[in-house]
């Protein structure tokens, strides 16, 4: 199905199932432990062995000698595989560095061998018997130093040859502006810290490989595993039916899958590899740190006349920048504009996508800068944002937003949150020993249209089966796909069986970047259209007039039970959604507003988030229950980024020091007493036939700045260097 014209009325608009709150259809499996995650597929694997990764203990250099003899002689050991035994490996399309090191080492904790044994304990013990001699090279681990020599690079959202994005004459307009701001901001390296670690089980049958793994993108993982092992992808069955969180860290193939495949081949047995938590930050990917400069020039009435956002980040030589300026190109009006990125080459572990890549750290800076400018102008921060709203792409005024309700998000949020009670003068509100403040930030994230396929079957008993390689990373994919099929085929959700995460099924958009839900449901919609045609034909009905409802199909004065169409055998419909140029003629984006209240202990400096509100405009909300969970989880993640999350770099030896959940702190339920989420009524007919977009990233973008702005309002101390830990403001608190 080609979606190239705005959606008109269709069966989804009935919203008898879609748009209604539904608990997760796979919930009972999860709470009873019957939903098999990557490390739990034991059926048919009675001879399962265990693999343990041996990581590099230097950040850059070369293996001179690796001694595997002691490991091979250890009790229970079945095989030991290093680069020498593995032979020449390839590299996946989405991998920045190779997943198995040797003899060259690209980063600390790069996998250099895998030990396979009868038990996990034996594998772990033997892995520690591997002895490695290295020649260490000088590496680059300090972002600030490396940025001094960094080259400009291309924004992934820009034209291929453009290193800077310019509209108008920024420098002249900024110099002539009545009120100006020029400030520097910093965000740290961050870890995904997902609940389920990276894990894989590999099993060979001749030259065919079966892999169960924890992956957000089945098709990408299969493709890249085939490229790494230098084998046809058709020989690999790649499965990931349940994923315990990914946040972008599991978008790409990782070492656990490769090591499991190599270990299973060498041992002649199925092999399970579960990456220990301390290996994850350095072996896998992380959100890169940024150093950002923002300049804003305004007229006295608050209208922006010049805005510039420049950001620098680091990555391995074949990597790319953290595109922290992306939202600044679209969020606020302004005739004269400049955005630019710089990439420093670092020998740290690979930097890559983490929830809302680009916008999350970019808005942590931009939305503080907007508050700072509002204060310079003597304007309310909400009013300043509203004054600079735009209904067209600021860089291409001929290109309107398909829908943009940012102003309403801000106004509704301010009313609901009690913004009128905010005292503009910082450090003016006390409740006992607590300094109390409120903060606001806009939320923004683009919608991405991606091809997505599905197969839908009608069984003899009238049940509906959905099959697609889409994944559920805890976001509710099983449920919204069941709702889509139920709405289209006129059956209850309980009559729909959803099967996900298997490369044997049609290729979907996958889970990531806020693109999963809207595209995957649109793919199921397209397949259901095909199935409806097959059903109508089997019943002798006119498919254009057929109405599917209550388990029956009606056309004119004729009606039949849906199951009758499959009396002679299952009927199937398979298709995928593809897109025209609506995302080129219109800017497809989601918007929101975050409001936060914090308290800061006047004596100790301890900061506590007291309450939070998110107001979101993100197209049709497919399931308010799971969408609310998405946004609340994202808001919580934003608090972590604002107040505690930071991978600390040892710039001498090139690794992240706090590489476990004891040292890398994340927020918990007790950290945030009250959160609320409001979705504005919206259906975007230019996005897809579901008229839906996404919310998973929108709930994060801007949260960090809202916390920072609230802390400033509470204390009068402005911190521009995240995370906002007590050491950065304690000595500047108002006197007691």
- Residues classed as catalytic: 697
| Calpha distance 142→527 (Å, rounded) | 51
Cβ proximity of 122 and 71 under 8 Å = no
Query: Please, are residues 607 and 598 in contact by the beta-carbon 8 Å criterion?
Result: yes
Sheet (strand 547-549) strand order? 547-549, 552-555, 558-561
d(CA 717, CA 731): 10
Sign for the CA dihedral angle at 504, 507, 508, 512 comes to: positive
Is 476 in contact with 545 (CB distance < 8 Å)? no
Contact 365, 187 (CB under 8 A): yes
Cis amide prior to 723 (ω within 30 degrees): yes
| Of 227, 207, 352, 218, residue with least CA distance to 285 | 352
Quick one: DSSP state of residue 669?
Answer: G
Cα gap 689→521, rounded to integer Å: 9
Residue 446 near residue 629 (C-beta atoms within 8 A): no
The secondary structure of 463-507, three-state, reads CEEEECCCCCCCCCHHHHHHHHHHHHHCCCHHHEEEECCECCCCC
CA–CA separation, 438 vs 421, rounded Å?
A: 9
Q: What is the distance between the alpha carbons of residues 227 and 214, in angstroms, rounded to a whole number?
A: 19
Q: How far apart are CA 385 and CA 440, in angstroms?
A: 10
What's the token pair of residue 239? Answer: 């499965």
In the three-class reduction of DSSP (H, G, I as helix; E, B as strand; rest coil), residue 233 is classed as helix
Measured at the CA of 538, the angle between CA 572 and CA 463, to 5 degrees, comes to 45
């Amino acid at each position: 199905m080609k979606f190239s014209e705005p959606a008109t009325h269709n069966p989804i608009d009935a919203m008898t199932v879609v748009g209604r709150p539904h608990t997760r259809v796979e919930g009972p499996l999860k709470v009873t432990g019957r939903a098999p995650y990557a490390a739990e597929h034991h059926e048919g694997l009675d001879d399962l062995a265990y693999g343990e990764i041996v990581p590099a203990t230097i950040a850059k250099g070369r293996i001179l000698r690796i001694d595997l003899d002691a490991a091979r002689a250890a009790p229970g050991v079945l095989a030991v595989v290093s680069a020498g035994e593995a032979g020449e490996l390839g590299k996946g399309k989405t991998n920045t560095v190779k997943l198995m090191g040797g003899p060259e080492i690209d980063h600390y904790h790069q996998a250099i061998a895998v030990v396979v044994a009868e038990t996990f304990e034996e594998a772990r013990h033997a892995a520690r018997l591997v002895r490695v001699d290295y020649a260490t090279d000088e590496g680059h681990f300090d972002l600030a130093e490396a940025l001094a020599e960094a080259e400009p690079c291309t924004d992934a959202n820009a034209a291929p040859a453009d290193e800077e994005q310019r509209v108008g004459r920024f420098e002249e307009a900024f110099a002539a502006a009545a009120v100006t701001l020029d400030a520097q901001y910093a965000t740290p390296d961050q870890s995904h810290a997902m609940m389920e670690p990276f894990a894989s089980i590999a099993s060979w049958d001749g030259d065919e490989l079966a892999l169960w793994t924890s992956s957000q993108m089945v098709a990408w993982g299969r493709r890249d595993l085939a490229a790494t092992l230098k084998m046809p992808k058709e020989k690999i069955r790649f499965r990931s039916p349940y994923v315990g969180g990914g946040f972008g860290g599991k978008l790409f193939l990782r070492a656990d899958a490769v090591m499991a495949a190599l270990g299973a081949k060498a041992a002649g047995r199925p092999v399970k590899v579960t990456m220990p938590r301390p290996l994850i930050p350095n072996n896998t990917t992380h959100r890169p740190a940024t150093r950002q400069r923002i300049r804003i020039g305004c007229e006295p009435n608050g209208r922006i006349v010049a805005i510039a956002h420049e950001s620098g980040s680091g990555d391995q030589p074949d990597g790319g920048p953290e595109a922290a300026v992306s939202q600044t190109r679209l969020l606020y009006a302004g005739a004269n504009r400049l955005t630019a990125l710089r990439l420093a080459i670092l020998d740290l572990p690979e930097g890559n996508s983490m929830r809302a890549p680009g916008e999350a750290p970019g808005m942590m800076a931009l939305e503080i800068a907007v508050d700072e400018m509002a204060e310079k102008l003597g304007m309310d921060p909400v009013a300043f944002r509203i004054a600079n709203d735009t209904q067209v792409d600021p860089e291409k005024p001929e290109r309107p937003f398909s829908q943009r309700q940012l102003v309403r998000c801000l106004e509704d949020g301010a009313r609901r949150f009690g913004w009128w009670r905010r005292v503009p003068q910082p450090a003016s509100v006390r409740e006992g020993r607590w300094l109390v403040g409120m903060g606001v930030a806009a939320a923004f994230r683009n919608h991405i249209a991606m091809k997505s396929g599905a197969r839908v079957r009608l069984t003899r008993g009238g049940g509906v089966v959905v099959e697609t390689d889409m994944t559920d990373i805890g976001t509710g994919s099983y449920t919204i796909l069941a709702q889509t099929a139920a709405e289209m085929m006129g059956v209850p959700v309980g009559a729909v069986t959803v099967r996900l995460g298997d490369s044997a099924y049609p290729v979907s958009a996958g889970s990531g970047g806020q693109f999963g839900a809207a595209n995957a449901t649109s793919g199921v919609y397209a397949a259901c259209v095909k199935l409806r045609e097959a059903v109508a034909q089997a019943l002798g009905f006119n498919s254009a007039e057929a109405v599917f409802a209550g388990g029956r199909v009606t056309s004119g004065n004729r009606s039949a039970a849906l199951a009758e169409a499959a009396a002679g055998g299952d009927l199937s419909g398979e298709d995928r959604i593809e897109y025209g140029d609506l995302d080129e003629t219109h800017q497809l984006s989601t918007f929101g507003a975050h409001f936060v209240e914090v308290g800061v202990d006047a004596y100790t400096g301890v900061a506590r988030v007291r309450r939070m509100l998110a107001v979101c405009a993100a197209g049709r909300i497919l399931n308010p229950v799971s969408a609310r969970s998405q946004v609340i989880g994202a808001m919580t993640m934003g608090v972590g980024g604002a107040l505690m999350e930071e991978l600390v770099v040892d710039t001498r030896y090139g690794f992240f020091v706090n590489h476990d959940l004891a040292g890398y702190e994340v927020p918990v339920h007790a950290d945030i007493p009250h959160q609320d989420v409001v979705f504005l009524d919206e259906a975007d007919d230019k996005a897809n036939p579901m008229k839906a977009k996404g919310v998973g990233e929108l709930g994060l973008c801007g949260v960090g700045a809202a916390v920072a702005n609230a802390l400033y309002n509470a204390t009068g101390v402005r911190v521009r260097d995240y995370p906002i830990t007590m050491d950065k403001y304690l000595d500047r608190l108002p006197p007691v």
